[in-house]
Structure 1
Amino acid sequence: MTDGPVTESGELAAAAELLACEGVLSAEQVRTTVEGIAALQRPDGAIPWFHGGHLDPWDHIEAAMALDVAGLPERALAAYRWLAASQNADGSWYAAYADAPDGVSEPTNRLCETNFSAYLAVGVWHHWLATGDEDFLARMWPPVRRAMDFVLSLQSPGGEIVWCRDDQGREADEALLTGCSSMYQALRCALAIAERVGSGRPDWELACGRLGHALAAHPERFADKGTYSMDWYYPVLGTALRGMAAERRIAADWDAFVVPGLGARCVSTNPWVTGGETCELALALWAIGDAERARMLLRDIQHLRDDADGMYWTGRVYEADDEGHRPAIWPREKTAWTAGALLLALAALAEEKATVAVFGGDGLPEGMLVACSVAECVAV
């Protein structure tokens, strides 16, 4: 059970001190944000975007990872138990569930998104790294295995993975760069889990190699969503790009997406900065050794903070539109995943071990080397 307020503990106090960052958040402010996320968690472990909103598996996991870095592993564990109990027979989850006070979450969007299902592996590996709980890893191995098998049933010969299957079994006809970048990170974490539990998965190794190669060398295999900032930084955040290739990618579109003093736009064509994208970009910058600009972005995005509860508004429109609407917070919602992304970025900057391992990528399996023709990647 997770209902009730957060009880102050040595772990929470130590985590708040670790995550505190000069010019961004004090330890007391970190604790307030942690308490804000925890207050949204239901007794069954589910973490909706906000009270009365909905929840989705990916953002639920991001919030659970934040609870781990904040010294609340039992609450994170409850979040993973909810996922295990909610998994569909084919290994997937639905794209959205209602936030039901009675704890019975009915799906509100029956698409099964591959990215949402794959992310379980990232959260499970992160929780194990944070806690060393071998029993947890053993219990979660079957849900991780089923989830990755579902995801890889939608992988194309060229390595890309289409983004969804509906409840009638119909598959999407395109792959998304952002989602596939996240799935590459998830596949690497799934391989690490498989190795730890002693279960070899050479099919996953080949799939990981194919997907990594597609992300690094074949942009034409993904739908063109270049106006979205996530398509810009996610190949870096998802560990597919590192070194000079990552630095060139970040430099190429910095001015298109970053608004000095305010954060990162969600879409390059709109005057709208968003907290989640800004914090994820900060994580990507940290991953390539640019901690200074990462801290700058986290400072810049504090205009979205509500000091009353430590939570963050999703975004802000910073210019009037053509119809004369004035700059304003929009939408009027403070989301668990925005606050979670901020805490994870602070954890990376503080060199918290689990977050460093998952987002830094060092030590994660990389899959098989592949050779690639026009349409298909095969093992070397």
Structure 2
Amino acid sequence: MTSPGREQGSTERLALPGVLTAEQAAATAAGIAAIQRADGAIPWFRGHHLDPWDHVESAMALDVAGEHERADAAYTWLARHQNADGSWYAAYQDGDAQRPTDLARESNFCAYVAVGVWHHYLSTGDDAFIERMWNCVHAAVEFVLALQQPGGQIGWKREADGRPVADALLTGSSSVHQALRCALAIAEHREEPQPDWELATGALGHAIRRHPERFLDKSRYSMDWYYPVLSGTLRGPRADARIAEGWDRFVVPNLGVRCVVPNPWVTGGESAELALALWAVGQSDRAVRILADIQHLRADDGLYWTGYVFEDDAFWPVERTAWTAGALLLAVAALGGDEATTAVFGAERLPAGLAPGCCGKRPAG
């Protein structure tokens, strides 16, 4: 895939003092672009697998870097290779749609296309794109909502043989909640109301905010800590309290964020996503500090090592992933005021759905 050239001034907007220069941002975007296949697929790195969620995150990073045609190609790949039931497989070898390596179909992986499509539309104003992608988004949302449980939470996946897994993950359901809100925004833009989606979105948001018992306990993982905030599901005092509660457990000063406690391993993707969550709740100084702390993961090609085992002074695993770089560029874009990124992750203007009549009337934050 030849690069069509990036939008003028795009990487200049990604300069963040103490974190990235415009030239470094351009190198990071070029690193992601170099991983992208000619057909638009973006695997973790060439020779590794593609999963649909990280593919979308990488495409969003291309958009903030002004590589709109490349991002469009990434979404076109999803539309072209969507399964008949609206899903995608969990993994494809090197992004080759003919070589799926994990035939499970995960709910949050499939939902995230809605976040990317809305972000791309807000980045480009391309009405033809959003019309072209509507059927893809609609089918994906319907697949995901077929996994919703009576308590509002979203079942993790369908196995390769089609059996639904009812167990729900807080991180995954939080990501789905953001995706449903973006899907509702797309539907509103098209003036095509989706009342069932509104009910499902409200029930899911309520479950995340009020019913932690409905989710598997994965509290050792930093993603379960910050994702309800990153997704926009928690805001206000409850979001601030959640960030404060986990800070000392997960944040390693000057190095970044642990993936899982108590392991002595910080990861770039989780650190950048936490920075994005911090920005979303008004803690921008902390967000910049986290992004500055993980620059020790930056490689000469502009990409980032996935993680660092600080007790061994070693990068691990020995890989530089498109999605790690993508998460960093999205966090920098939000801090720089990129309108599409702030709309998607700030979440104030996203539809909230219809809250259920459970637990009485409570504030949404």
**SS of equivalent to 2:357:** strand
Change (3 A) 1:266 1:202: same
The residue identity in structure 2 corresponding to 1:317 is: V
Q: Which of 301, 308, 311 pairs up with 1:316?
A: 308
Q: Which of 149, 154, 157 pairs up with 1:156?
A: 149
The residue identity in structure 1 corresponding to 2:213 is: E
Q: Which residue of 1 aligns with 2:172?
A: 179
Q: Which residue of 1 aligns with 2:113?
A: 120
Q: Which of 245, 249, 265 pairs up with 2:242?
A: 249
Equivalent-residue separation in structure 1 for 2:16 and 2:332 (angstroms): 7
Q: Which of 292, 305, 319 pairs up with 1:333?
A: 319
Contact 1:158/1:372 (CA < 8 Å) preserved in 2? no
Equivalent-residue separation in structure 2 for 1:74 and 1:194 (angstroms): 23
2:68 aligned with 1:73, yes or no? Answer: yes
2:304 aligned with 1:304, yes or no? Answer: no
Equivalent-residue separation in structure 2 for 1:8 and 1:310 (angstroms): 18
Q: Which residue of 1 aligns with 2:229?
A: 236
Q: Which of 24, 30, 51 pairs up with 2:19?
A: 24
**SS of equivalent to 1:52:** coil
Equivalent-residue separation in structure 2 for 1:31 and 1:157 (angstroms): 46
Q: Which of 261, 274, 285 pairs up with 1:281?
A: 274
| Equivalent residues in 2 for 1:346-365, closer than 5 Å | 346-365=332-351
Q: Which residue of 2 aligns with 1:369?
A: 355
Q: Which residue of 2 aligns with 1:259?
A: 252
Tell me by how many angstroms 1:167 deviates: 2.4
Contact 1:99/1:105 (CA < 8 Å) preserved in 2? no
**SS of equivalent to 1:232:** helix
Unaligned 5+ residue runs, structure 2?
361-365
Contact 1:17/1:27 (CA < 8 Å) preserved in 2? yes
Q: Which residue of 1 aligns with 2:79?
A: 84
**SS of equivalent to 1:340:** helix
Tell me by how many angstroms 1:7 deviates: 5.8
The residue identity in structure 1 corresponding to 2:324 is: T
Kindly provide the CA deviation profile for residues 255-279 of structure 1, in whole angstroms up to 9, marking residues without a partner as x. Answer: 0000000000000110000000000
Q: Which residue of 1 aligns with 2:363?
A: none
Equivalent-residue separation in structure 2 for 1:106 and 1:84 (angstroms): 17
Contact 2:41/2:55 (CA < 8 Å) preserved in 1? yes
2:36 aligned with 1:36, yes or no? Answer: no
Equivalent-residue separation in structure 2 for 1:192 and 1:245 (angstroms): 25
Tell me by how many angstroms 1:369 deviates: 2.0
Equivalent-residue separation in structure 2 for 1:142 and 1:8 (angstroms): 29
Equivalent-residue separation in structure 2 for 1:69 and 1:8 (angstroms): 13
Q: Provide the TM-score with structure 1 as the length reference.
A: 0.93
Change (3 A) 1:167 1:104: closer
Kindly provide the CA deviation profile for residues 289-313 of structure 1, in whole angstroms up to 9, marking residues without a partner as x. Answer: 0000000000000000002x10000
Unaligned 5+ residue runs, structure 1?
320-325, 375-380
CA-based RMSD: 1.2
The residue identity in structure 1 corresponding to 2:303 is: M
| Equivalent residues in 2 for 1:95-244, closer than 5 Å | 95-99=90-94, 103-244=96-237
What is the aligned-residue identity percentage?
63
Change (3 A) 1:7 1:127: closer
Q: Which residue of 2 aligns with 1:294?
A: 287
Kindly provide the CA deviation profile for residues 195-231 of structure 1, in whole angstroms up to 9, marking residues without a partner as x. Answer: 1112111000000000000000000000000000000
How many residues in Structure 1 have an aligned counterpart in Structure 2? 360
Deviation >2 Å, runs of 4+: 6-9
**SS of equivalent to 1:192:** helix
Equivalent-residue separation in structure 2 for 1:373 and 1:254 (angstroms): 29
Equivalent-residue separation in structure 2 for 1:357 and 1:105 (angstroms): 35
Equivalent-residue separation in structure 2 for 1:159 and 1:369 (angstroms): 11
